Structure 1
């Protein structure tokens, strides 16, 4: 089992999860090359890193995937994240139509280990 680096402990992790459902679409190329870099630029020096996961299977054989994709931002400060996203929220939401018809589920958490 791979351990997280000590640098990640205590960071704020913002997970943007795109649930799978019949008839939903997701353009991974656009998300990877346009959307996530745009949001990352809004976060500036508060951003430590970001990751993108493509859903490939459920944990239970022959069941649909729970999520088509998950984008994750690791930031130093939640308040700085919120200050950066707030004024750009409409631009971020307007860009959704360029890559998906899914309403994402967002989880903000603290990295413990």
Structure 2
């Protein structure tokens, strides 16, 4: 019985140590990355096709970014941070890239194709924020 308890404690210690190191490594990897947030504000009468965005639009743009792209995320707005207030954004797409200049070089020649695809999933003009991950 004591042997099982000791083995269990060792396994838990190993798991938490590995998890903690992985979490620290993830923070180091993300610091300094460029984050491009494409935010779609909520407004009455506006529409957003999440399925199309997830399966067609974002993969298309990700393909343009090539090896500069670290990852991308898609978020679906569900509520405001303040009860009984309108939803601020219907959706947010985010790209994490290594280099802003490489991002701009990839997007520039494909800008018209990206914008033309908006009509396939939304009637919202997005707000875009480019930032640097600091932590």
CA distance in 2, matches of 1:84, 1:28: 24
| Equivalent residue for 1:12, pick from 15, 20, 34 | 34
Structure 1: segments with no counterpart, 5+ residues: none
Q: Deviations over 1:88-111 (max 9, x none)?
A: 000000000000000000000000
How many residues matched? 112
Runs of 4 or more above 3 Å deviation: none
CA distance in 1, matches of 2:33, 2:100: 9
Structure 2: segments with no counterpart, 5+ residues: 1-22
Compute the RMSD of aligned alpha carbons. Answer: 1.2
CA distance in 1, matches of 2:97, 2:110: 17
Q: How much does 1:5 deviate?
A: 2.5
User: Relative contact order, CA 8 A, sep 6+: which one is greater?
Assistant: 1
Task: Report the counterpart of residue 13 of structure 2 in structure 1.
Answer: none
Q: Deviations over 1:38-79 (max 9, x none)?
A: 000000000000000000000110111100000000000000
Task: Report the counterpart of residue 125 of structure 2 in structure 1.
Answer: 103
Higher helix share: 2
Task: Report the counterpart of residue 43 of structure 1 in structure 2.
Answer: 65
Query: TM (normalized to structure 2)?
Result: 0.81
CA distance in 2, matches of 1:34, 1:24: 20
Higher strand share: 1
Secondary structure of the corresponding residue to residue 5 of structure 1 = helix
